[in-house]
Chain A
Amino acid sequence: MSLKAFHLIFVSMMTALALGFAIWGFVNQLPWLGLASLGVAGLVVFYGFYFLKKLKKISYL
């Protein structure tokens, strides 16, 4: 598995963390934190697609 593939896993985990953090924020009566984390999750997903597009030629192996 190349760094590209591992980075993809990392981006997926970061997205999950940001979504989980958003839920934590809403549960703990911190709606601004929840909304900010949702925004970060969206940014990370956007970055993930951008990075995949840019590194199209690099192998996953």
Chain B
Amino acid sequence: MEIPYTVKPRPDTGIYNAKVGIWLFLASEVMLFGGLFSAYVLLRVGADEGYWPHGWLDVRLGTLNTVLLALSAITTLLAWVACKVGQFGRFKFFHACTMALALTFLGVKMYEYHDKWIHYEIKLKDGRFADGHMIASDDTSVTIEGRYVTDEKALYDLRSQGPIPRDEIKISRSDILSMENYGPWHNTFLALYFTLTGLHALHILGGTLVIGYLWGPGSRMWKKDPERFTNRIEVSGLFWHFVDLVWIFLFPVLYLT
């Protein structure tokens, strides 16, 4: 049995069925991310004075990832246009570029996550705080590359402090009251950061898998039904553009505020 309206537009909607489907899906995605963005706004507005982090994320890496996703949106469009004009070789090239850009994005994101994972805030028994990246740890001591502060608030607004000197600090475990890395459990900002960017990264991963399928085994459809294949590329491109648009909101909200 032939699936109807995979190429020709359906008379009542004016578009082919897969496009209706992806837009319904994207509408649900808007609600998902919209809810999370709302949570961000409410939690941020309700945060205690002086306890909302500024400058915790590397703007250079965020900018790099923004550029990578912007370029991938262009290559996705070009892959679709290549299909439209019957240039299968160019389609292959542009979608390979999209995948390479997406995987680079994920690589940068993993690096950022790792950087937070090895970053520790250590509360000492004398009331001070040691903050920095873990270098070594054993049963008797912990060594970090960081600094001491007397007021915990000094750890929150890094942007107003300019370049922060970092030294190698060895702390005896008997001097430590508590220590915690910069995981999602550390504070509200990091919980939101890991939730929002983690969900977004999962979308990037999912999109890359779909694009990879259409680039590889799925591209066999080009020989028997090029129009339907072109529509599939358009639908995957719509999803990819949505994911890129989400990042355009995430970047200023998380990295620049």
Residue of B whose beta carbon sits closest to that of A57: B84
Q: Nearest Cβ distance between residue A17 and chain B, in whole angstroms?
A: 5
A10 in contact with B23 given A20-B252, A21-B256 (CB within 8 Å): no
**B interface size (C-beta, 8 A):** 26
Cross-chain contact A28 with B77 (CB below 8 angstroms): no
If A10-B244, A14-B248, A61-B15 touch, does A1 touch B256 (CB 8 Å cutoff)? no
Q: Which residue of chain B has the shortest Cβ distance to A36 in the bound complex?
A: B63
- Which single member of B19, B63, B73 contacts A10 (CB below 8 Å)? B73
B80 touching A3, Cβ below 8 Å: yes
| Minimal beta-carbon separation of A27 from chain B (angstroms) | 10
Closest to A40 in B: B67
Q: Mark A6-20, 1 if CB is under 8 A from B, else 0.
A: 110110011001001
Identify which of B118-126, B132-140, B234-242 touches chain A. B234-242
A14→B68 CA distance, assembly (Å): 12
Total residues of chain A contacting the partner, CB 8 A: 20
Residues A35-55 near B (CB distance < 8 A): 47, 51, 55
Asked if B81 lies at the interface with its beta carbon under 8 angstroms from chain A, I say yes
Can you name the residue of chain B whose Cβ is closest to the Cβ of A11? B73
Q: Is the CB of A17 within 8 A of B248?
A: yes
Smallest beta-carbon distance A18→chain B, Å:
9
Q: Is B181 an interface residue (CB 8 A)?
A: no
User: Given A1-B23, A10-B73, A55-B81, A61–B66 Cβ distance below 8 Å?
Assistant: no
B43 part of interface (Cβ distance < 8 Å):
no
**For residue A6, which residues in chain B have a CB less than 8 angstroms away from its CB?**
237-238, 241-242
Chain A residues within an 8 Å CB radius of B245: 9-10, 13
CB of B106 closer than 8 Å to a CB of A: no
Contact B73 A7 (CB under 8 A): yes
